[in-house]
Amino acid sequence: MTSGTRVVIIGAGIAGVSTAFHLSCRHDISDVVVVDPRPPLTLTSDKSTECYRNWWPNASMVGLMNSSIDLLEEMAEESGDIFSLRRPGYLYVTADPETFRRMGEEADAASSFGGGEVRRHPADGPYREQVDGVDLLGPDDLREHHSYVTDEAVGALEVRRAGYFSAQQLGSWMLDQAKARGVRVVAATVTSILTENGRVTGVELDDGSSIDAGHVVVAAGPMARPVAALAGLDLPLHSELHIKVAFRDHLGVVPRDAGMFIWSDPQHLDWSDEEREALSDMGRTDVTGEMPIYCHGRPEGGAESPYVVGLWEYHGDVMEPVWPFPIDDLYAEVVMKGLTTMIPGLAPYLDGLPEHSVDGGYYTKTEENRPLIGPAGLEGLHLVCAFSGFGVMVASGAGDLAARHIAGADLPGYADDFLLSRYDRPEYLAMIEALGSGQL
Ligand SMILES: Cc1cc2nc3c(=O)[nH]c(=O)nc-3n(C[C@H](O)[C@H](O)[C@H](O)COP(=O)(O)OP(=O)(O)OC[C@H]3O[C@@H](n4cnc5c(N)ncnc54)[C@H](O)[C@@H]3O)c2cc1C
């Protein structure tokens, strides 16, 4: 293959690695060079909660995620389940009858977009294990099948095509497969994207050398915006800081076979009067008033592991990505209190937090929270970025889609909705406008 058809991928996170895998292993394009100064998969792609779901509010996102999960299932089979793909579901729990009613409406909508059938229990028959679609559980079924959840809950929506896997293992496996096909990894920073007559011709590296290429893929995660700017593109991206805590559940409160559990109501944390006074003195009224929905977590590390991860985005800080990033000193305690609302058995940990560690990274995203996948700007330039908080679950579908664009293969019906050029369509802009904020 000549340099005219060589593909340079900027970034060896899960986005870049998946694109390299699909180009080389599925489209026979092996003259691929992945450039990254860091060891592969070590900036954001090893910091995630590693969860996946096909629960999204429109047909394009459901289509892309279903394709990604199909590919994950194929690769799990092909690799001998090397990345431990598990499907225990996502459980959205509420203590508010109105929220439960709304969950039913959302389930019907998601089903119409391809999310699978909706079963309302007990009316639609008994609750079963490991199926597709969505189960709506009333309080009796919830208590019977998820007894760790508070008695205050009035119902739950359980997404069944959902679970978690080891993103690091998946990425390593895909990279090994790609390397076996001839893909190379170069440890360097891309400092320029070279162009000639309106098309890309390669990249320049921080050691002064350059690599000729006919296609350049921007898969630079939190740095996608400045990297795309090297080719004159101004991507509409911003980054939010997201943190998670892993704690040792030495009392064995959270069942090891639980899926992701998500408290779907706002809540007030149970601080003592002294704590409230101290927090007020510290200027920390951000954690003493009404706290947002979606405090969530899941068991981490398989049946033998005592670890549980918890997350709660109660700040939503938008910032230019920097490392090391600021971490709220109260994060672990606040998350444990939030989780205790949903799982009262965790209460003993409020008297003294168990052994824990906190890390995180950035959700780099578009306004309407859809990724950017496919050609953009100059001829030969491609985007695989804006992976937000769904990057490891979307990576397979996105890498496949990006590789199809580069290889000139058939494209799925949703492809146009992930191009940068979607912002040129007035009806798309109108949808964003109508949405206000949130997920399109
Ligand atoms: C706390 C947290 C929880 C999450 N939970 C989930 C979850 O449950 N499920 C899910 O699907 N997703 C989740 N995510 C999101 C997911 O982790 C990210 O979307 C995904 O890892 C982004 O992958 P990426 O390849 O785009 O970026 P990264 O992994 O950040 O990789 C980008 C790479 O580009 C390189 N790079 C940048 N600039 C250059 C340059 N000039 N030259 C060469 N290389 C460059 C960087 O060094 C880096 O290695 C979570 C994220 C966080 C922070």
Distances, alpha carbon 51 to alpha carbons 1, 66, 163, in Å: 38, 14, 6
Q: Are 365 and 386 in contact (CB under 8 A)?
A: yes
CB 151 within 8 A of CB 258: no
Give the pLDDT band of residue 254 (cuts 50, 70, 90). Answer: very high
Q: Ligand 1 pocket test: which of 33, 35, 48, 186 has the largest number of ligand atoms within 8 Å of its C-beta? A: 48
Structure confidence by residue, pLDDT tens digits, 174-223: 999 999 999 999 999 999 999 999 999 999 999 999 999 999 999 999 99
- Distance CA(311)–CA(334), nearest Å, equals 10
Classify domain 90-163+239-363 at the CATH topology level: D-Amino Acid Oxidase; Chain A, domain 2 (3.30.9)
Listed in sequence order, the residues at least 6 apart from 266 whose beta carbon sits closer than 8 Å to its beta carbon are 290, 291, 292, 293
What pLDDT, on the 0 to 100 scale, is given for residue 126? 85
- How far is residue 375 from each of residues 6, 382, 429, measured CA to CA in Å? 15, 4, 19
Q: Residue ranges of the domains in the chain?
A: 3-83+166-236+366-435, 90-163+239-363
Distance 208 CA to ligand 1 centre (A): 26
Q: Please check the confidence at residue 4 and state whether its pLDDT lies above 70.
A: no
- The first and second tokens of residue 407, run together, are 């290889």
pLDDT > 90? residue 127: no
Task: Give the mean model confidence (pLDDT) for residues 339-351.
Answer: 98
According to the CATH classification, is domain 3-83+166-236+366-435 in 3.40.50.720?
Answer: no
Q: What is the Cα–Cα distance from 119 to 125, expressed in whole angstroms?
A: 8
264-297, pLDDT tens digit by residue?
999 999 999 999 999 999 999 999 999 999 999 9
pLDDT of residue 316: 82
In this prediction, residue 1 carries a pLDDT of: 39
Distance 109 CA to ligand 1 centre (A): 30
- pLDDT of res. 2: 41
Given a cut of 50, whether residue 259 has pLDDT beyond it is yes
Task: Choose between 131 and 180: higher pLDDT.
Answer: 180
Dihedral of CA 56/57/60/66: which sign?
positive
- pLDDT value of residue 107: 95
Nearest protein Cα to ligand 1, atom 26: 221
